[in-house]
Amino acid sequence: MSESVRAEQLGESRAAFMARVRQAVGRRGQAESMETAPEVDEALVRLVSPQDDVVELFTRRATAAGMRVYHVDNTGVAGTVTEIVRAAGAGRVAVAVDGLMAHLREAGATVVDRVDGNAALWELDAAVTGVTAAIAETGTLVCCSDAQQGRLLSLLAPVHVAIVRSSDVVADMLDYWDRFGGDGAGPVASSQVMITGPSKTSDIEGVLITGVHGPGEVHVVVVDP
């Protein structure tokens, strides 16, 4: 299908749609003198200050959301990740973080190479990814799609191991947008996923069950340099 056909717009024309909306809001002429949007007052909206112990708070909130949190220094990352993967009985592992492959292979795991496309991801037992940031207020991980990990890596395996540098833990969601939300400073990733806990459902009689489509286990390794 050629690009020109794809770009063809279906349905009503933008002009007709917009004319109806303009008429509905009662706009005559141009919208230069538009009132400014309500101010997002930090004193009201911000729940956590950057001055707080954000790593400690993140640990508590992430744990409350059902994730397991580990604290290591630079030298402890490989050992802890290997231990998690082994304890989960994970044979096939994909890794999007440098410097871990050799350790995992040594520990007997099959490290899945992604050069052959995404099919192998469906058979994974565990996936190890980095994160763009973590938000202390809600115990949330933010994974952005990029060349290394894309959208699927943190989704398809039943066990997700996320490596978080303590300097990437922000206090409040407001801080995440300030640091990573573009705001004119460059395009945001095509997919920013905020992850708060393992995949959950309580559709059947309100019983909480984890791992329905996404990972049932999320392990967070916080690295303090």
- Chain residues 92-151 in contact with another protein, contact rule CB under 8 A: 114, 118, 122, 137-140, 145-151
CA distance 5 to 28: 35
Q: Do β-strands 217-223 and 68-72 pair in parallel, antiparallel, or remain unpaired?
A: parallel
The encoded tokens of residue 69 equal 């949190």
Any contact of residue 27 with another protein (CB under 8 A)?
yes
Any contact of residue 217 with another protein (CB under 8 A)?
no
- Choose the stretch contacting another protein; rule: CB under 8 A; options: 21-29, 79-87, 125-133, 162-170: 21-29
**In this chain, which of 2, 29, 31, 225 binds another protein, going by CB under 8 A?**
31
Any contact of residue 203 with another protein (CB under 8 A)?
yes
Q: What is the DSSP letter of 67?
A: -
**In this chain, which of 45, 79, 87, 99 binds another protein, going by CB under 8 A?**
45
Beta bridge partners of 95: 128
CA distance 164 to 148: 16
**In this chain, which of 128, 159, 170, 173 binds another protein, going by CB under 8 A?**
173
Q: DSSP letters along 141-172, please?
A: EEEE--TTTTTTHHHHSSEEEEEEEGGGEESS
Distance, first Cα to last Cα, the chain: 50
The encoded tokens of residue 17 equal 């749609």
**In this chain, which of 23, 49, 74, 167 binds another protein, going by CB under 8 A?**
23
Q: How far is the CB of 110 from another protein (least distance, A)?
A: 19
**In this chain, which of 29, 89, 186, 187 binds another protein, going by CB under 8 A?**
187
Backbone torsions φ then ψ of 199, nearest 5 degrees: -55, 130
CA distance 14 to 170: 40
Residues 47-86 that bind another protein (CB under 8 A): 47, 61, 65
Q: How far is the CB of 79 from another protein (least distance, A)?
A: 28
Q: Which CB sits closer to another protein, 86 or 200?
A: 200
Q: How far is the CB of 33 from another protein (least distance, A)?
A: 11
